[in-house]
Amino acid sequence: MSSTEYDVIVIGSGIGGLVTATQLAAKGAKVLVLERYLIPGGSAGYFDREDGYRFDVGASMIFGFGDKGTTNLLTRALDGVGMSIETIPDPVQVHYHLPDGLDLKVHREYEKFLQELTAYFPHEEKGIRQFYDECWKVFNCLNAMELLSLEEPRYLTRVFFQHPFACLGLVKYLPQNVGDIARRYIQDPQLLKFIDAECYIWSVVPADRTPMINAGMVFSDRHYGGINYPKGGVGQIAQKLVEGLENAGSHIKYKARVTEILVENNRAVGVKIASGETFRAKRVVSNATRWDTFEKLMPSTQKPNSEKKWSQRYQQSPSFLSLHLGVKAESLPAGIECHHILLENWDDMEAEQGTIFVSIPTLLDPSLAPEGHHIVHTFTPSWIQEWENLSPSEYAQKKEQAANRLIERLTQIIPDLDRGLDFQEVGTPRTHRRFLGRDNGTYGPVPSRKLLGLLGMPFNRTAIANLYCVGDSTFPGQGLNAVAFSGFACAHRIAVDLGLG
Ligand SMILES: Cc1cc2nc3c(=O)[nH]c(=O)nc-3n(C[C@H](O)[C@H](O)[C@H](O)COP(=O)(O)OP(=O)(O)OC[C@H]3O[C@@H](n4cnc5c(N)ncnc54)[C@H](O)[C@@H]3O)c2cc1C
């Protein structure tokens, strides 16, 4: 039994957990972060391979590093503990390679993107502009105000009086989904499919189930703060947050898997880790997914009714099959962009291993691969069920077949890929489950049916007193900037609850 009592214990050092921890530490709270793995970051972590490759585990299309407005939450989170990271601007957010020859780039420059899209759909010129302009309205509302906890009435009152029109705008968009707004302006079925793909690549559901608030952020910030890659790899974000946390006098403990949230009289009072050690705190924050938090870290008899209802509204999205490649520089076509989406058949967009996501971060930061080489990280949605009940040799064989299929499909954008291969490693949903500690390796919750926008997504407080959740199982969902938002909100609510300045 540990004798120290902390103000706050955070279970997990994903970006959501670290933003909560650093914001609270900066306000003087004594925080302990417990991380089951060897390094921080979770899905925003990295791994090194002996030949000089440093691979991002997941995220590499990074929002939130802008230098203006209020939605640049990664810049702000680092700054909160006196840290910063040099970033490299990406001139193109993504290059789409879609069915029916739809091959276009989302340029950092808004007008250039609209022109490129309109060239494919000249008859929809007006509708395209109206739709994306409406996304800007959402973004401008968000970007006008300090983004903190919507569960804190005094903040809500203050922000309402400071920005009444922005607040009313957000209230209007909160229950809306992208599909309804897109159909208001756009009729062409192929263009509506493109809008589905625009949503799917980060929400992993089509436009009808993608909340307008999130779309407003993504579809506008890419042209405002832009997509920027952190120098040294995505793992730098978590590393720097940990450095800031420790400078502020708080701590992180690695190889500390929480096995139980200790609850007394329906109040969270601490946690127990796998070694048997317990830690007590005034507040406990879980950065694990809701499935892990309420189904594994506490007895099922304690699962609150609100959580049971939530599980009916939201379901797990699939995990990913990841292919990490090291390739010779000469095998990449000249002028290729960093991020790509490949889909050969519209009907396969949501299918097992349907849409392919590609990221070549060494085009922006060559230091992540040996000289004369690049990283090509490819991932595609895949369900854990596809990878279970296999013998070790069947598992290895299935991984190799899946990798070969991906490489073959990738030759559409990198014709010489096969000849340039220098390194290859495959991760399956089992790998994601094991290393990221996420139930079934899921990317996160998605609406199980069409819901009222973001209204059903829980904030940070839970039905158990003194227990909070943070990260992609909370408002506003997946993505590094989104979980940073959730971290700011969680820290704000706890700071008020603890009476910290
Ligand atoms: C393949 C892939 C690609 C992606 N691409 C992008 C992208 O390009 N851009 C983008 O913005 N987002 C992207 N994302 C999404 C983004 O990475 C996530 O939404 C975000 O990182 C989730 O952060 P989080 O704070 O919710 O938690 P996580 O990253 O899940 O971190 C949770 C942490 O908690 C720890 N933990 C869990 N249980 C316990 C326990 N019991 N005890 C102790 N520690 C525990 C885990 O080890 C982990 O470190 C991608 C995700 C994946 C998987």
Short-list 283, 301, 300, 278, CA closest to 461:
283
Nearest CA to ligand 1 atom 32: 14
State the average pLDDT for the chain: 96
Give the DSSP letter string of 24-71. HHHTT--EEEE-SSSSSBGGG-EEEETTTEEEESS--S--S--SSSS-
For position 315, what pLDDT does the model report?
97
37 Cα: distance to centroid of ligand 1 (angstroms): 12
Q: Strand pairing of 92-98 and 102-107?
A: antiparallel
Predicted pLDDT at 454: 86
pLDDT at 3: 56
Percentage of residues in the chain having pLDDT higher than 90 = 92
Catalogue all structural domains in the chain, each as residue range(s) with its CATH number. 5-85+230-315+445-498 (3.50.50.60), 108-226 (no CATH), 318-439 (3.30.519)
Mean pLDDT of the 105-126 span: 98
Q: How far is the CA of 239 from the centre of ligand 1 (A)?
A: 14
Pocket around ligand 1: residues whose beta carbon is below 6 Å from it?
11-17, 34-37, 42-44, 58-63, 257-258, 287-288, 292, 320, 322, 379, 436-438, 443-444, 471-472, 478-480, 483
For 305-314, write each residue's pLDDT tens digit. 999 999 999 9
* pLDDT at residue 455 in the model: 86
Q: Looking at the chain, how many residues does it have?
A: 501
214-263 pLDDT per residue, tens: 999 999 999 999 999 999 999 999 999 999 999 999 999 999 999 999 99
From the list 498, 438, 499, the residue with the least C-alpha distance to 466 is: 498
Atom of ligand 1 nearest to the CA of 41: 49
Under 8 Å between Cβ of 234 and 475: no
Choose one of 287, 320, 355 to mutate for the ligand 1 pocket test, by most ligand atoms within 8 angstroms of C-beta: 287
pLDDT the model gives residue 360: 98
Average pLDDT over residues 432-459: 93
Residue nearest to atom 35 of ligand 1 (CA): 12
For residue 375, the CA-to-ligand 1 centroid distance in Å is 21
Measured by CA distance, the residue closest to atom 5 of ligand 1 is: 59
Q: State mean pLDDT over 181-203.
A: 98
Q: State the Cα–Cα distance between residues 150 and 143, nearest whole angstrom.
A: 15
3-class secondary structure per residue, 376-428? EEEEEEECHHHHCCCCHHHHHHHHHHHHHHHHHHHCCCCCCHHHHEEEEEEEC
For the cut 60, the answer to whether the pLDDT of residue 435 exceeds it is yes
Query: Pick the residue with more confidence: 453 or 304?
Result: 304
pLDDT, position 1? 47
pLDDT of res. 2: 53
| pLDDT at residue 300 in the model | 85
* Strand, helix or coil for residue 8: strand
Cα 202 to ligand 1 centroid, rounded to whole Å = 14
Q: 486 C-alpha to center of ligand 1: Å?
A: 13
Average pLDDT of the segment spanning 366-388: 98
82-105 per-position pLDDT tens digit: 999 999 999 999 999 999 999 999
Say how many Å lie between the CA of residue 331 and the centre of ligand 1.
31
Whether the per-residue pLDDT at 461 is higher than 60: the answer is yes
Q: Give the number of the atom of ligand 1 that is nearest the alpha carbon of residue 437.
A: 37
Containing 112, the helix (H) or strand (E) segment is helix 110-120
Q: Is the peptide bond before 175 cis (omega within 30 degrees of 0)?
A: no
